[in-house]
């Protein structure tokens, strides 16, 4: 999927800005005393926009951090990577969001998130925000951002619609976090993006959860029929499978 030709900036994202604080070794449970290291700049949409900026694209981000050292950690990294931070707020009196992470030897992770009641949740839809979003030709969003708070969810939807209405494109990675919301509530919150997105990037499990269908194949076809042009199905060590609109079997008249 190519981005539309335009004089606009390339990629915009919005959502949570958090720092990550990690256990120093494997299989160290979070309920017991053990060393941590960090903070590291994190948040799924922030990681993505950082990589896009490092690739030389014109990037911007909409979000919020606290007026604290964790906020400095995040802003310093994004600024160094070349991300425009015009619409990143510093919220006095509120802490920057964070996540504590433990890694297991089987490759899985355990998270404890502190996001919703922090500065990360203080992102609001405004005319200024929409005018900023209109400057971009592509918007990429993460599902975890739609679970932070209702204002953040509404802001993300407004950003995506503004870019789309301006002739741009939208990509969406569901990035479901069971720690933040149950499947039913996550599906309700993420559902509008499934109609807006030109490109979807779910795992096989996420595709089935979002559609309620039992197989990857059926889930991908359902997502394409909702309006996406491409579904890139993430399969871990097995790589990915790309399914496009032209691959949907036609029904006989």
Would residue 241 count as lying in a domain?
A: no
Q: For residue 83, give its domain range.
A: 9-197
Q: For residue 108, what is the domain's CATH number?
A: 3.40.1190.20
Distances (CA, A) of 245 to 58, 206, 226, 242: 29, 19, 10, 10
As a whole number, mean pLDDT of residues 39-48 equals 95
As a whole number, mean pLDDT of residues 1-6 equals 45
Nearest to 163 by CA among 195, 196, 190: 196
Would residue 202 count as lying in a domain?
A: no
Helix (H, G, I), strand (E, B) or coil at 58: coil
CA dihedral of residues 40, 43, 155, 225 (deg, nearest 10): 160
Would residue 231 count as lying in a domain?
A: no
Would residue 75 count as lying in a domain?
A: yes
The model's confidence at residue 177, banded by pLDDT at 50, 70 and 90, is: low
As a whole number, mean pLDDT of residues 63-76 equals 97
| pLDDT tens-digit series, residues 179-216 | 556 667 777 778 888 889 999 998 878 888 888 788 88
| pLDDT tens-digit series, residues 73-85 | 999 999 999 999 9
Q: pLDDT value at position 54?
A: 96
Would residue 203 count as lying in a domain?
A: no
CA dihedral for 30, 34, 37, 39, sign (positive or negative): positive
Would residue 63 count as lying in a domain?
A: yes
Q: Which helix (H) or strand (E) holds 171?
A: strand 169-173
Angle in degrees, CA 155, 97, 110, rounded to 5 = 110
Q: Which two tokens stand for residue 102?
A: 């433990």
Q: pLDDT value at position 178?
A: 56
Would residue 251 count as lying in a domain?
A: no
Would residue 227 count as lying in a domain?
A: no
Q: pLDDT value at position 5?
A: 45
**42/235: higher pLDDT:** 42
Q: How many domains does the chain have?
A: 1
């Amino acid at each position: 999927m190519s981005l539309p030709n335009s004089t606009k900036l390339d990629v915009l994202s919005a959502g949570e800005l958090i720092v990550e604080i990690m256990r120093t070794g494997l299989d160290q449970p979070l309920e017991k005393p053990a060393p941590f290291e960090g903070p590291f700049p994190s948040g799924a949409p922030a990681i993505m926009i950082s990589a896009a900026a490092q690739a030389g694209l014109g990037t911007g981000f909409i979000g919020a951090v606290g007026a604290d050292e964790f906020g400095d950690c995040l802003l310093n990294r994004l600024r160094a990577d070349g991300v425009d931070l015009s619409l990143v707020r510093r919220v006095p009196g509120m802490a920057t969001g964070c996540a504590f992470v433990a890694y297991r030897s089987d490759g899985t992770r355990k998270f404890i998130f502190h996001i919703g009641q922090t500065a990360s949740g203080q992102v609001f839809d405004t005319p200024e925000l929409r005018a900023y979003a209109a400057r971009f030709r592509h918007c990429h969003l993460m599902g975890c951002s739609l679970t932070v708070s209702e204002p953040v969810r509404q802001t993300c939807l407004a950003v995506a619609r503004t870019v789309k209405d301006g002739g741009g494109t939208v990509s969406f990675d569901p990035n479901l976090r069971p720690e933040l919301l149950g499947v039913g509530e996550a599906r309700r919150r993420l559902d509008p993006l499934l109609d807006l997105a030109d490109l979807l990037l779910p795992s096989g499990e996420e595709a089935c959860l979002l559609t309620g269908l039992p197989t990857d194949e059926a889930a991908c076809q359902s997502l394409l029929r909702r309006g996406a042009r491409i579904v890139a199905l993430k399969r871990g060590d097995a790589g990915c499978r790309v399914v496009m609109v032209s691959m949907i079997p036609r029904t006989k008249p």
